[in-house]
Amino acid sequence: MAAGTPVPREPLTFAERTYLPQILGGLKTTWRHLVTPKTTLEYPEQRPALPPGYRGVPTLVRDPHGREKCVSCQLCEFVCPPKAIRITPGAIPADAPTAHVEKAPQEFEIDMLRCIYCGMCQEVCPEEAIWLQNRYSTTGYTREEMVNNKARLYELGGTLPDEHLKWDRKKAAETAGNDRH
């Protein structure tokens, strides 16, 4: 069809011109809501069931020994579509027990007003340090309260099992030795 050519349309039937099917459909929905029993939850004591795979508030988690899992690679910051994550990398002191790890975050912030709960930060994290919790109600009175800093992120995240052995030098060395044989 050439540009500017009108598109032929079928003429409306009598029922379509009177909107009767749409009106009856709306009345059917209204009637269904009138006769079904009501369920009221006493929020926040009772909360609705969350579907599997729910993506909630992003948090930082620690390994079972209480150590930071984040190595400040900044992949989550780079992949975040609304740029809600801000990381300031920091060096680990040479005399620290985890000095063999690359680096650790000096500051880590997630702006919950910008976060779209997409889950890309969790998917891209190579250390499984950022995790989406089942929390969905975060509130605050000011914008500053909605920016979760590193301490708050660890408080919300807690501890998760660790599959990575790089945190324990001895275990990593044993595993490397077993792989050679």
Domain boundaries, the chain: 58-163
Architecture in CATH for domain 58-163 = 2-Layer Sandwich (3.30)
- Going through the chain in order, the beta strands assigned E by DSSP cover 58-60, 85-90, 104-111, 130-132, 147-148
**Predicted confidence (pLDDT) per residue in 31-89, tens digit:** 999 999 888 888 888 888 888 888 899 999 988 888 888 989 999 999 999 999 999 99
Higher pLDDT, 26 or 179: 26
**Predicted confidence (pLDDT) per residue in 87-142, tens digit:** 999 888 878 777 777 788 999 999 999 999 999 999 999 988 999 998 888 889 99
Q: What pTM was computed for the model?
A: 0.67
Q: Sign of the CA dihedral 61, 62, 64, 66?
A: negative
